[in-house]
Amino acid sequence: MSGMRKAVGFFLLFMTVSLLLSAVEPVRIADATPAGDSAVSSLALQLSLEKPGKYDISIERLSAEKALAKFNSGRADLVLIREVKLPEGQRNGILHPYAVGAAVFYVNPANPLDDVTPEHLIQLLSGPAPDWARVTGEKTRLYRLGLRRNAAGYGLPERMLKVKPGEFDKDMFRVGSNAELQLLTAGSAEALGAGIFSAVMPDTVKTLKINGVAPLLKTVKDGSYPFCERYILLVPAAPSPAVAAFVELMHGADFRRYLEESGRLSLLP
């Protein structure tokens, strides 16, 4: 009888050790970005479909304060956050800028407007639509275009101009993509499109300078263009193998493609 007990004991011990050795390490992501990072979600979904059982990835949408609190207490492995001043005393983890997006304002190439201030843009985009007379001398009605909810980059122009959500809704025609916004702007000399930066700009539209700085690949990546929104990845100083592997995949071509689809550029080497 005692031999059977020993055998059962050894079997249970073996099963426990086997389960511990085969357990998948979690990758717990606290997402504090404004609209949730669709590129990170897409990468997580891809891994779960391509390598089922290899990764245990969870993503939780939180405020910046709660995301940092979870990270500092060891309840989150990674934090996605806008580039903001971190709270005093935040010493844990290593910061990696991983993406950047930018609000860009488009006009037709025939429009003489070239350089604007943020205050001027707010005047043009809020309230009843004015005509172009005081800007270009043409007494034609200003035709406003913007991005629809769920479109990549929705809300970014408003955040960059520091106005409340919906401030530009009056007399604004919203479309489903930045490409559609560019197309409609190209087709109307009266159009002003509030969109996002794309790495390849068609020559059928003109982008406005903001305080003298044009939205170019260089000025967006280095942050000298005023309307950039940078995203930061907070990583533990000593990440687990699973977390380190996930971060490494964020340097890959698939993740860069997901970032481009979300209207942003990668800042990772």
C-alpha torsion angle, residues 223, 229, 230, 231 (rounded to 10): 180
Kind and range of the H or E run holding 175: strand 172-175
Closest CA relative to residue 159, chosen from 31, 35, 30: 35
pLDDT for position 55: 86
**pTM of the entire predicted model:** 0.83
- The series of mean pLDDT values per 10 residues for the chain, 269 residues long, is 51 40 78 94 94 90 94 95 73 88 96 94 85 70 92 95 89 95 95 94 96 97 96 94 96 96 93
pLDDT for position 23: 57
pLDDT for position 182: 98
**25-100+230-266 carries CATH number 3.40.190.10:** yes
Residue whose structure tokens are 């197309």: 183
Give the domain ranges of the chain. 25-100+230-266, 101-221
**Angle in degrees, CA 268, 158, 215, rounded to 5:** 50
Q: What is the CATH number of domain 101-221?
A: 3.40.190.10
Cα(81)–Cα(68) distance, integer angstroms: 9
Q: Judge if 25-100+230-266 and 101-221 fold alike in CATH terms.
A: yes
pLDDT for position 8: 45
